[in-house]
Amino acid sequence: MGLLIFGFGIKAGMAPVHVWLPRAHPVAPTPASALLSGVMIKIGAFGILRVATSYFFPAQGTVSSASDPIWITTENIGAFIIWIGIITMAIGVFFALQQSNIKKMLAYHSISQMGYIVMGIGIALYLGFKGAMGYSGAIYHIINHALFKSLLFMVAGVVYHHTKEYDMYQLGGLWRKLPLTATVCLIACLGISGIPLFNGFISKTLLHHGIVEAAKYGSDIFVFAEWIFIIVSAGTVCSFIKLFYYVFLGKMPEKYQSIKRDYSTLDIAMSTIALMIVAIGLFPNYILQKLIVPELYMISYDPEFIHHYIEGIHFFAIHDLITMVWIVLLGFVIFFVGKKYHLFHLHLPKWLKLEYILFYPLNFLMRFSCKLMYGDQCPIDSGPLSKLALKDNEHIGFLERFTTMTQVFNRRYETSIIKSDAFIYTVCITLVFLYMLIFGNIS
């Protein structure tokens, strides 16, 4: 069961197995990026949710209290998953703020937003009989993220189509040439930032209520998780202020003055998703009542809790609106401080990067293996194996290193293995034919 969660976590981009996602998005075509972020990684999140509720939850109707000992396992696993989600949220937004490439920034925000969903799944387990709020928030955010993140990747594709540029610091003023694209981008930015009247506010409100309940009904340690939730949300606001400011506002570079306004099916697709983002933000109860609440009643959650706290929720309560105002203000503060002091251009030293921490020791292992097999004739520093050099190689990914290392073994052993196998197969087939020939003639 743990391996199932881990496997789905890889697909979902859950920390610490998230490193493939920022590498995949920048090289993927725009439609592939939209589907990758909008659909595929959600399968990972939904897989975790289904595994968790199928294997760790009792059958419906077998429990009637949150104090039943059967919830102890789900509580322990849920607490662990909550912190994995919080860490994923923080890592994603931290690295997103450092990016200049639009698609890479959006990729890191996919990681961060998946952290919200994973946290919701953790709450759904941790609170057990009363975990319906976390479950609702996770499902609702899966739907919402699919919409605004797909739209953001489409916007990135349209911008690249007209400018052949993904570096947001090389862009600016494009709202004059691409007004519809700028409008739908603004809607998507407001959605992912959790601004009221847009879809992200609805699911983030459910998730915020869930983490508050985890602190109230569970451990006080989750008060710190709520603080991190608020800071990460402010970082998300800052990121999309940054994106919209550098791409669509400010002074337009002279080389883009010749861009012509054109409208196509791309704009129809983006406008449709933008309208869905607004519609969900204005009428949040439709999805909640039609899709999510019926699912809750099929799981071993407290029906009274669902009726009073999920079906009867008021999304635009004053407390939630005030919290969102503070998050937005903090996001603007982070943006202005980061812009003034050039903090967005800072990067972690390479020795703190996961790739460096993991691959530097592996380099020694690979070189030792090569020396062991080849002796002084080890081709480690020549040809394709030069990728395993110890310096300036942190940009080489795990898959490429693994493939390169297999070449070391193949060069040394593959030919002899193939010859041995061919000899064995030839002997076996010859014996079979002899057996058929001899005993066939006898019979």
- 3-state SS of 411-431 is HHHHHHHHHHHHHHHHHHHHH
Rounded Cα distance, 221 and 53, in Å: 24
Rounded Cα distance, 229 and 226, in Å: 5
Structure tokens at 265: 């099916």
Residue range 330-364, pLDDT digits in tens: 999 999 999 888 888 877 666 566 666 666 676 67
59 falls in which pLDDT band (50, 70, 90)? confident
Mean pLDDT over 249-253 rounds to 86
Tell me the pLDDT of the chain averaged across its residues: 84
Which residues does residue 101 pair with via DSSP β-bridges, in sequence order?
167
Residue range 276-301, pLDDT digits in tens: 999 999 999 999 999 999 999 988 88
Rounded Cα distance, 107 and 324, in Å: 24
Rounded Cα distance, 82 and 56, in Å: 15
341-350's contacts with Cβ under 8 Å and 24+ in sequence apart are: 343/97, 344/97, 344/98, 344/242, 345/98, 346/98, 347/98, 350/394
More confident residue, 367 or 147: 147
pLDDT of residue 418: 63
pLDDT of residue 184: 95
- Cβ-based neighbour number of residue 247 at 10 Å: 27
pLDDT of residue 214: 93
Rounded Cα distance, 423 and 412, in Å: 19
Q: Residue 174 gets which letter from DSSP?
A: G
pLDDT of residue 318: 94
Give yes or no for residue 33 having a pLDDT over 90: no
- Cβ-based neighbour number of residue 393 at 10 Å: 16
Rounded Cα distance, 55 and 355, in Å: 34
H or E segment to which residue 368 belongs: helix 354-374
Residue range 122-141, pLDDT digits in tens: 999 999 888 899 999 999 99
More confident residue, 370 or 399: 370
Q: Residue 62 gets which letter from DSSP?
A: S
Q: Which residue has the tokens 């697909």?
A: 11
Mean pLDDT over 147-169 rounds to 91
Structure tokens at 94: 């931290």
pLDDT of residue 142: 93
200 falls in which pLDDT band (50, 70, 90)? very high
Mean pLDDT over 206-219 rounds to 92
Q: Residue 59 gets which letter from DSSP?
A: P
Is residue 144 within 8 Å of 201, Cβ to Cβ?
no
Rounded Cα distance, 288 and 310, in Å: 8
User: Between the CA of residue 75 and those of 33, 69, 375, what are the distances in Å?
Assistant: 35, 10, 54
Rounded Cα distance, 328 and 366, in Å: 49
Nearest C-alpha neighbor of 211 from the set 13, 74, 58, 79: 79
Q: Which residue has the tokens 């739908």?
A: 184
212 falls in which pLDDT band (50, 70, 90)? very high
Is residue 236 within 8 Å of 207, Cβ to Cβ?
no
Rounded Cα distance, 333 and 227, in Å: 17
56 falls in which pLDDT band (50, 70, 90)? confident
pLDDT of residue 192: 94
- Cβ-based neighbour number of residue 277 at 10 Å: 23
Rounded Cα distance, 294 and 301, in Å: 12
Q: Residue 303 gets which letter from DSSP?
A: H
Q: Residue 382 gets which letter from DSSP?
A: S
Is residue 151 within 8 Å of 321, Cβ to Cβ?
no
